[in-house]
């Protein structure tokens, strides 16, 4: 597992969650709406959006889509249990992502714009240095 502690926009974390869970079947209008977020029940790897104003839109498969305004935080746990991440608001739509991510989640974090390819390169270089000095 990889420790994550990076600044991230709300939209980049939303894109990560979509890429990790429902990109193949999310309605197009929901992808384009920055206020629509996926949620999932705890037994399936919970995804929870904490917001000042939240309305349930539609359930598709195991995902419930919600319209959320003034998002304070998002908790994401993968089905496999290998990834546990939290996005916390620091100011408006800017925040911080912390937690543990699997290698598969790193790809989605990068695709969503939460971490950059450079971040991944730096992490891999650091890991290689730790292994070679051990």
pLDDT by residue (tens digit) across 36-46?
999 999 887 89
pLDDT at 130: 73
pLDDT at 17: 97
Q: Which domain holds residue 118?
A: 2-133
Helix (H, G, I), strand (E, B) or coil at 119: helix
Whether the pTM exceeds 0.85: the reply is yes
**CA of 9: how far to CAs of 16, 55, 91, 125, in Å?**
11, 22, 10, 26
- Overall number of domains in the chain: 1
Q: Are 35 and 123 in contact (CB under 8 A)?
A: no
Mean pLDDT, the chain, rounded, equals: 92
Give the whole-angstrom CA distance, residue 66 versus residue 38.
6
pLDDT at 42: 83
Give the whole-angstrom CA distance, residue 35 versus residue 103.
28
pLDDT category, 134, cuts 50, 70, 90? low
pLDDT category, 77, cuts 50, 70, 90? very high
């Amino acid at each position: 597992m990889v420790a994550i502690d990076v600044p991230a926009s709300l939209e980049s974390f939303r894109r990560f969650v979509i890429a990790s869970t429902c990109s193949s079947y999310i309605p197009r209008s929901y992808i384009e709406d920055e206020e629509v977020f996926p949620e999932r029940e705890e037994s399936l790897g919970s995804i929870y959006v904490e917001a000042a104003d939240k309305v349930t839109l539609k359930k598709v498969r195991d995902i419930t889509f919600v319209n959320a305004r003034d998002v304070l935080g998002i908790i994401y746990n993968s089905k496999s249990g290998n990834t546990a991440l939290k996005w916390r608001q620091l100011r408006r739509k800017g925040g911080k992502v912390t937690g543990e991510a699997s290698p598969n989640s790193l790809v989605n974090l990068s695709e969503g714009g939460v971490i950059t390819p450079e971040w991944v390169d730096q992490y891999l270089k650091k890991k290689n240095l730790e292994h070679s000095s051990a």
